[in-house]
């Protein structure tokens, strides 16, 4: 199963909003007879790839697959048909597919046909790999990645707002990779105004993220890099329902998608409703890149599912230099970890720290 999970990981960033799935066909001595993974949305499923690779050797063998095989006609025929046609004797599954069209029904079909079934092998590992897929299914909202680069003293910009560059070129390369596998890259208008960023993945990754600006009054400049490139890579401005129509109209005419969102009590875009809007578009992963106020909204609302932090060996100091996470904050140091570390490593001169919500590390359904 661990091999199947490794194979599945090859589809991350390519298959969403589908889950990443891997499969291995083995004989009784656990010799590998065939392998496969779901590599592209709409493309062949992992089980079918593995069964095809195994060919006739699949007869009487075991299929190990990270997710319950599908039994419905989607963009490809049901995998349960392929499993039955192959003569597979036993199917070992990581987790059931909680999608409404599945939810155990694929396993029932196989069981009823006399195939031996085992479920829950390395379920934790499979759940973790597919956290964004499962989160979208459970909540209707995408998985929120928050990213920031900070100095040793926790600043994301110098006192005057200057922030380019805090992290090393290697770290920025990693951020570009991240951008290339998410559905949206989000910033606040503060960052858009000060940095005039492009927010594209360079080089491009498997997905082309929509660039989103939280901009209550549609202040984004028409000559900004974002607006000037809106016809090549989509740009969305999330603004208030009472926005000045002339301003919003000018942005729309320049190719920007204007999305009106009710305001929260703070008088700013209601982030929960914006996430609902993202979910309707079946966006599975969104990457929020700052600045401090937007990250503060995320932290205050408990919206951060995964954090990517780059710690650069620099000191900037200054009482008014922005800290990484603004917002209201907590009155006291929390007793438990807000985020659980899942990865830490050196990237060039920097330290890369990645963490997820603690509940994600445990069973997602507990």
Ligand X SMILES: NC(=O)c1ccc[n+]([C@@H]2O[C@H](COP(=O)([O-])OP(=O)(O)OC[C@H]3O[C@@H](n4cnc5c(N)ncnc54)[C@H](OP(=O)(O)O)[C@@H]3O)[C@@H](O)[C@H]2O)c1
The DSSP bridge partners found for residue 258 are 237
Does 216 bind ligand X (CB under 6 A)? Our answer is yes
Interaction of residue 350 with ligand X, rule CB under 6 A: no
Q: Which is nearer to ligand X, 38 or 247 (CB)?
A: 247
Nearer to ligand X by Cβ, of 109 and 294: the residue is 294
Q: Does 271 sit near ligand X (CB under 6 A)?
A: yes
DSSP letters for 38-56: --STTS--HHHHHHHHHGG
Binding residues for ligand X restricted to 191-210, rule: CB under 6 A? 191, 194-195
Q: Of residues 35, 47, 97, 289, which one binds ligand X by CB under 6 A?
A: 289
Nearest by Cα to 127 from 116, 138, 117, 118:
138
Residue 68 annotated to the active site = no
Choice among 16, 47, 49, 122 that is catalytic: 47
The closest alpha carbon to 102, from 138, 65, 67, belongs to 67
Please provide residue 21's backbone torsions phi and psi, each rounded to the nearest 5 degrees. -130, 140
Which of the ranges 76-84, 178-186, 189-197, 222-230 carries the binding residues for ligand X, by CB under 6 A? 189-197
CA distance 143 to 123: 19
Q: Please report whether residue 220 would count as binding ligand X according to CB under 6 A.
A: no
Among 44, 123, 188, 355, which residue sits at the site for ligand X (rule: CB under 6 A)?
A: 188
Supply φ then ψ for residue 354, to 5 degrees: -125, 135
Site for ligand X contains 278 (CB under 6 A): no
Residues 312-341 interacting with ligand X (rule: CB under 6 A) = 322, 326
In this structure, are strands 62-67 and 210-214 parallel, antiparallel, or unpaired? unpaired
C-alpha span between 117 and 90 (Å, rounded): 6
- How many of the chain's residues bind ligand X (CB under 6 A)? 31
Q: What are phi and psi of 303, to 5 degrees?
A: -90, -5
Q: Rounded to whole angstroms, how far apart are CA atoms 56 and 33?
A: 10
Only segment of 39-47, 100-108, 124-132, 267-275 that touches ligand X (CB under 6 A): 267-275
3-class secondary-structure state, position 147: strand
355 forms part of the interface with ligand X (CB under 6 A): no
What SS3 state is found at 246?
Answer: helix
**Residue 273 contacts ligand X per CB under 6 A:** no
Region near ligand X per CB under 6 A, out of 153-161, 229-237, 246-254, 278-286: 153-161
**Which residues make up the interface to ligand X (CB under 6 A)?**
148-149, 156-157, 161, 163, 166, 187-191, 194-195, 214-217, 219, 268-269, 271, 289-294, 297, 322, 326
The residues carrying an active-site annotation are 47
């Amino acid at each position: 199963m661990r091999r199947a999970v490794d194979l599945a990981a090859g589809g991350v960033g390519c298959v969403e909003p589908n889950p990443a799935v891997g499969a291995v066909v083995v004989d009784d001595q656990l010799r590998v007879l065939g392998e496969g993974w779901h590599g592209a949305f709409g493309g062949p499923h992992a089980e079918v790839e593995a069964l095809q690779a195994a060919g006739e050797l699949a007869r009487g063998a075991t299929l190990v697959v990270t997710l319950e095989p599908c039994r419905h006609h989607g963009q490809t025929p049901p995998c349960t048909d392929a499993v039955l046609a192959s003569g597979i004797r036993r199917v070992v599954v990581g987790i059931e597919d909680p999608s409404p069209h599945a939810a155990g029904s694929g396993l029932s079909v196989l069981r009823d046909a006399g195939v031996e079934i085992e479920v829950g092998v390395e379920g934790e590992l499979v759940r973790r790999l597919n956290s964004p897929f499962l989160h979208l299914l459970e909540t209707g909202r995408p998985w929120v990645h928050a990213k920031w680069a900070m100095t040793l003293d926790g600043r994301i910009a110098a006192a005057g707002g200057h922030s380019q560059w805090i992290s090393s070129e290697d770290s920025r390369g990693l951020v570009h990779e991240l951008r290339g596998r998410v559905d949206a890259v989000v910033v606040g208008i503060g960052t858009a105004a000060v940095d005039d960023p492009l927010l594209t993945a360079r080089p491009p990754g498997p997905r082309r993220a929509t660039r989103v600006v939280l901009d209550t009054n549609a202040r984004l400049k028409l000559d900004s890099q974002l607006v000037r490139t809106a016809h090549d890579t989509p740009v969305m401005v999330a603004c208030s329902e009472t926005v000045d129509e002339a301003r919003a109209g000018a942005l729309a005419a320049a190719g920007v998608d204007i999305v009106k969102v009710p305001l929260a009590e703070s008088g700013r875009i209601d982030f929960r409703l914006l996430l609902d809007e993202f979910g309707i578009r079946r966006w599975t992963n969104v990457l929020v890149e700052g600045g401090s106020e937007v990250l503060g909204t995320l932290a205050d609302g408990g919206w951060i599912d995964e954090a990517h932090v780059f710690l650069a060996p620099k000191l900037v100091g200054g009482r008014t230099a922005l800290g990484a996470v603004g917002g209201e904050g907590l009155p006291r140091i929390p007793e438990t970890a807000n985020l659980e570390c899942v990865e830490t490593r050196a990237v060039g001169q920097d330290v890369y720290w990645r963490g997820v919500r603690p509940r994600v590390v445990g069973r997602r359904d507990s």
